[in-house]
A and B are shown apart, each in its own frame.
Chain A
Amino acid sequence: QQPVQSPQAVILREGEDAVINCSSSKALYSVHWYRQKHGEAPVFLMILLKGGEQKGHDKISASFNEKKQQSSLYLTASQLSYSGTYFCGTVSGNQFYFGTGTSLTVIP
C-alpha cells in the first residue's frame, strides 16, 4: 500500500536536473509532494488533484498520471537548497500513505 519511489537516492551537481517517480498499486485521488531536510519536519511542496494535472513552483514541477497511478517530480537547474529527502503522499479513499522517500543531494 505504501507507494514506491525511484530512485532511492540521487546526487546532482548544482544546475543539473532530476526526476523522482512515485508509483502506487491503488487508484489515487490525489498526490502530495513533501521535502524533508535532515533533522526537520516534512514541508509541503504541492498537491496534484486531477489526473494529468501538472503543477509547478519555481523550478520544481510535478505531473500526475491517474491511469498509471503514478506521479513524477521534476527539479530543474537544481540548487544547493534542494537537498533533502523527497516524499510523495498518495490519497486513496480516506487513506493516506507516504512513499518510501528519495534522498537528493546537490553538490557544488
Chain B
Amino acid sequence: DAGVIQSPRHEVTEMGQEVTLRCKPISGHDYLFWYRQTMMRGLELLIYFNNNVPIDDSGMPEDRFSAKMPNASFSTLKIQPSEPRDSAVYFCASSQLGGPKETQYFGPGTRLLVL
C-alpha cells in the first residue's frame, strides 16, 4: 500500500489567503485524523473522522479552520483566511476499526508557512 498521502508537501502563502491541505488515507481505514505540530505547542489533534463523519473537532482552533471528508479516500483541511501563527507542519493520519485506540499511520506532512 502507498501509505497516507498528503499534498502539497510544502506551501508558502501570504496572510489572508486561503489554504487547502489534502489527504488520502490508507485504503480500508475507517478513521482519519488531522494534526498540527509546532515547536511551541507540540502535536495537537485538530479533528478526526469516522466513516467520513466528524467525531471530535474540539481541537480546531477557530472558525478559520474547517475540515471535510466527502468520501472514504479524500479529506481536506482548509484555513481561510490564513495568519502567520498558522505556520506549522500539518499531518494527516489514518487508522482502522478502533480509531484513537488503534495504531495511527501518519502521512509525510505538509509544511505550511504563512508570511
Interface: A87 (CB within 8 A): yes
| Known contacts A30-B101, A91-B101, A95-B56, A2 near B106 by CB under 8 Å | no
- Cross-chain contact B100 with A96 (CB below 8 angstroms): yes
Given A41-B108, A42-B106, A94-B56, also A87-B43 (CB < 8 A) = yes
Interface residues on A, range: 20 to 34
B25 CB-CB contact with A under 8 Å: no
Provide the bound-state CA to CA distance between A53 and B101, in Å: 15
Q: How many A-B residue pairs have CB under 8 A?
A: 48
Beyond A41-B106, A41-B108, A42-B106, whether A98 also contacts B101 by CB under 8 A is no
Q: Is the CB of B91 within 8 A of A47?
A: no
Is B105 within 8 A of A44, CB to CB? yes
Shortest beta-carbon distance, A78 to chain B, in Å?
A: 23
Does A74 reach chain B (CB closer than 8 Å)? Answer: no
A96 / chain B contacts, CB cutoff of 8 Å: 33, 45, 48, 100
Q: A97 near B: Cβ within 8 Å?
A: yes
A82 at the interface (CB under 8 A from B): no
Q: Is A77 an interface residue (CB 8 A)?
A: no
| Residues A98 and B45 in contact in the complex (CB < 8 Å), given A30-B101, A42-B106, A91-B101 | yes
A76-99 near B? 1/0 per residue, CB < 8 Å: 000000000001010100111111
B54 interface hit (Cβ, 8 Å): no
